[in-house]
Amino acid sequence: MSSDRRRKRSRIDEPVGARVRNYSLGWGDTPSSVAPYVPTPMRVVRRMLELAGAGADDVVYDLGCGDGRILFTAVEEFDVKKAVGYDLNPSLCESVQRRVDSKGLRGRIEVFNENFFLADLSQATLVTLYLTTSGNSKLRPKFEKELQDGARVVSHDFPIHGWTTMKAGSPDHFIVGSHRIYLYRVPEAQLTERPIPRSPEEESRWRRIREVFLRFDSGC
């Protein structure tokens, strides 16, 4: 790995400072967040990894990893080769790192208190997301530039506009209760572009999701 790339990837005890000022929507749990922190229910986590075919050859990158539930599920239940998480919240990253250490999973799980727009995604074979439509749209050029052929991207609730999902027929997403799962594979997702609709008012939708989650789901 080049020295420039090493400088871009900060461990959880390194300050992110001004490097995380880009891509801000002006709301969320940290100033540069592209989505507020709302944990994905565990039944949705497992279904996302199952639909994506996560397995022993995969390197999973969770962008906005929160409490690390996707990272741990991918390694412990789906036996992926490695899981890498990025999150701007230092407390969450520290908590994940303590859990990694207590479980003896160093080398299998890595977490970075880092802006994932600065991450090198070229080693990822599977990327998981729970952001917003606009957040996904900002990531789309990065995915198209960095992800290797055959890599899958699985997004909870919000699509990547302009990409075509792997699901045949209508609707173009999988359903788990009230949740939607969008699954894509590179480069096929890019080959038949769909029109990009105008973005909805996402802030109010996220607030409703958070209220329902906090009231009924209790993080599970």
CATH number for the domain spanning 62: value is 3.40.50.150
- Count of domains for the chain: 1
DSSP symbol at 19:
G
* pLDDT for residue 98: 98
Q: Is the pLDDT of residue 211 over 60?
A: no
Question: Half-sphere exposure of residue 50, counting CA atoms within 13 Å on the CB side?
Answer: 9
- 120-134, 153-167, 179-193: which has the minimum mean pLDDT? 179-193
Structural domain boundaries enclosing 81 = 3-217
Looking at residue 17, its pLDDT comes to: 33
Residue 178 has pLDDT above 60, yes or no: yes
Q: How far is CA 218 from CA 22, 38, 166, in A?
A: 32, 11, 31
The 10s digit of each residue's pLDDT in 45-92 is 999 999 999 999 999 999 999 999 999 999 999 999 999 999 999 999
Task: State pTM to two decimals.
Answer: 0.76
Residue 42 has pLDDT above 50, yes or no: yes
Kindly provide the b/e burial profile for residues 111-145, where b requires at least 16 CB atoms within 10 angstroms of the residue's own CB: bbbbbbbbbebeebbbbbbbbbbbbbbbbbeebee
The confidence score (pLDDT) of residue 105 equals 98
- Mean pLDDT, the chain, rounded, equals 81
203/163 Cα distance (integer angstroms): 23
Poorest-pLDDT segment among 73-77, 134-138, 201-205? 201-205
**β-strands 179-185, 152-156 pairing:** antiparallel
Least reliable range by pLDDT among 32-41, 69-78, 144-153: 32-41
Distance of CA 7 to CAs 83, 118, 159, 196, 200, Å?
20, 10, 31, 35, 37
Q: Is the pLDDT of residue 31 over 50?
A: no
**pLDDT at 145 > cutoff 50:** yes
